């Protein structure tokens, strides 16, 4: 299948490249946009490492083709910190030791940046339910849950 011109809007910036329709969004972000913060784990929608935001909603970028995303606003992990200033969620993950190797962290951050916008007062049960979509092999999840709940409180104070 011939390559086609594709324009993606990622983190407010346009990227033009050519790719086949089968090019996964996860690969396009890493290879064509040079944004390697989005990690590729299982490539079938189970691990959650590749989660990005499309129009503000968390989406598995390995289950989406780049060509489908023309006209949509994509946000990746590279957009979350403002310069050297971490987002409240990133800061909370740092303080609570909510990551170890960090491979799953971009997917967790993107999932919960969206989740905390939609659910500013989550219960621990709701956080754990949402976190089932992101596999972490290092931390045992306890510190991630602690960090997310802490971030929710801090974001309310800042709001």
Partner 1 sequence: MKPAAFSYLRPVAIGDALRQLADGGGEAKLIAGGQSLGPMMNMRLARPAQLIDLNDLSELAYVRESGDALHVGALTRHYQVAESPLVRRHCPLLAQAAQTIGHYAIRQRGTIGGSLAHADPAAQFPLIAMTLGAKLHVRSATRERTIAAADFFVSAMTTSLAADELIEFIEFPKARVGEAAAYRLFNRRHGDYAIIAAATTVSTSGGQVDRLRLGLGGATPVPQALHALGQTACGRRPDDDWVRDIARGAAEQLVVEEDQRVSIQFRRELTVTVVGRALRHALAQLRA
Complex with partner 1: residue 95 or 141, whichever CB lies closer? 141
Least Cβ distance, residue 42 to partner 1 (angstroms): 9
What DSSP string describes 90-121?
HHHHHHTT--SS-SSHHHHHHHHHHHHHH-SS
CB atoms < 10 A from the CB of 6, how many?
21
Least Cβ distance, residue 1 to partner 1 (angstroms): 4
Q: Using CA atoms, how far apart are residues 29 and 50, in angstroms rounded to an integer?
A: 10
Residues that bind partner 1 (CB under 8 A): 1, 20-22, 24, 27, 43-45, 48, 51, 57-60, 62-65, 67-68, 111, 115, 129-130, 132-134
Complex with partner 1: residue 31 or 95, whichever CB lies closer? 31
Q: How far is CA 120 from CA 60, 125, 153, 155, 159, in A?
A: 22, 14, 8, 8, 10
Complex with partner 1: residue 15 or 115, whichever CB lies closer? 115
Q: Using CA atoms, how far apart are residues 153 and 159, in angstroms rounded to an integer?
A: 10
Complex with partner 1: residue 60 or 150, whichever CB lies closer? 60
Least Cβ distance, residue 9 to partner 1 (angstroms): 16
CB atoms < 10 A from the CB of 148, how many?
27
């Amino acid at each position: 299948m011939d390559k086609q011109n594709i324009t993606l809007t990622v983190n407010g910036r346009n990227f033009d490249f050519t790719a086949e329709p089968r090019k996964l969004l996860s690969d396009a972000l890493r290879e064509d946009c040079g944004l390697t913060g989005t990690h590729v784990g299982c490539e079938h929608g189970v691990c959650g490492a590749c989660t990005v935001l499309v129009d503000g909603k968390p989406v598995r970028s390995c289950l989406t083709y780049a060509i489908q995303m023309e006209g949509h606003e994509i946000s990746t992990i590279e957009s979350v910190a403002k310069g050297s200033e971490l987002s409240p969620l990133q800061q909370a993950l740092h303080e609570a030791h909510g990551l170890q190797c960090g491979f799953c962290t971009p997917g967790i951050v993107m999932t919960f940046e969206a989740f905390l916008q939609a659910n500013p007062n989550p219960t621990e049960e709701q956080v754990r339910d949402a976190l089932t979509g992101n596999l972490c092999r290092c931390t045992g999840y306890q510190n991630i849950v602690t960090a997310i709940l802490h971030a929710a409180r801090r974001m309310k104070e800042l709001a």
